[in-house]
Amino acid sequence: MHTLVPVFEDLLAGWDGEEIVTRYDGPTETWMFVGVHSTVLGPAMGGTRMKAYSAPGDGLGDVLRLSQAMTFKQAAAHLPYGGGKAVLAVPNVPPPGSSARREILLRYAALVDSLHGTYVTAADMNTGAPDMDVIGERTNHVLGRSRDRGGSGDPAPGTALGVFHGIRSAWRHVSGSAELDGVVVLVQGVGSVGDRLADHLGEAGAHLLLADVDEGRAEKTAERVGGTVIQPDSVIATACDVFAPCAAGAVLTAATIPRLACRVVAGAANNQLGSGEDAALLAQRGILYAPDYVINAGGVIHLAGYETLGWDEAMMRARLAGIGETLAGIFATADAEGITTAEAADRLALARLAAGDPG
């Protein structure tokens, strides 16, 4: 394992966070990484990703990148949390409910508990409410448990509704109207968030184009909302008004941006830009980009609001709708100052971090 040290050193040298906790769990052959990027606004909160990586350093790289993004997400969402993330780099992802999965989660929960609240975990890729229930057996520093276990359940509905409000805000900015009747929206990825987003868009009268690597899943959503299924490999060049990436990240790159045929990019996926320069490429093409960590913050708003801030349904609806208002301010700042929407979003988050005040 000593050969990993130079790799880890190289990754950490460019990271500006507060703390990295690393543990190799021999009995489960799992690398456990917890990244506490910032506690300026409160405990670092972010999901736990379970994934098989080709090398442990790839898992650490995810933690560093994603924990930093969570700091900006929490700040932009006016929440009393900092940014954190965790990765369980497993040899293979155990099936849900299996004894192997339970063992990993319990041993990981002990690690989270040893941090005494500096990091608060939640669900992420390949984890969900049942996994948070298991983690909750060993630590209280967890959000997103099932309702039966005192949590708020799956935050995907909050994410989807927040993205819907963000799309309406972005469309208002480019067209002058937030009405989506007849607007062509291409949803890439109809998983737990994209599927619910399609419902909201369909109810608003949008014409939906749907793509997913699981064609059966796309067809099921299309049948319910009256949309049209398109092939995943044709997504980028398909003409639409709004492109909503709700699957993998790094979909907006120097290779794909010239091929886009849309006026707006606004979706739920994390880390949509391949690099920082790609926001400028979108602006040069006249495509309005809704910064991902702003528009997809509904999940953390759901978790914090219901589980730690005591919000009722009316407050939750208002705060999710507020995502659209935050984006409207970001779009206005970008126009007024001649900067990208990504830079305008970063300025907003950094200002709140500098003030030490989430509100």
The residues that are catalytic are 85
Q: At what angle do helices 313-337 and 341-355 cross, to 10 degrees?
A: 120
Rounded Cα–Cα distance for residues 176 and 178 (Å)? 7
Sequential DSSP letters for 295-323: HTTHHHHHHHHHHTS---HHHHHHHHHHH
β-strand partners of 169: none
Amino acid letter at 25? D
Please state the φ and ψ torsions of residue 296, each to the nearest 5 degrees.
-100, 20
Rounded Cα–Cα distance for residues 128 and 154 (Å)? 7
Amino acid letter at 22? T
Q: Which two structure tokens, joined as six digits, stand for 91?
A: 């040899």
Rounded Cα–Cα distance for residues 323 and 290 (Å)? 11
Rounded Cα–Cα distance for residues 133 and 119 (Å)? 17
Cβ–Cβ contacts within 10 Å for residue 237, how many? 11
Rounded Cα–Cα distance for residues 153 and 96 (Å)? 16
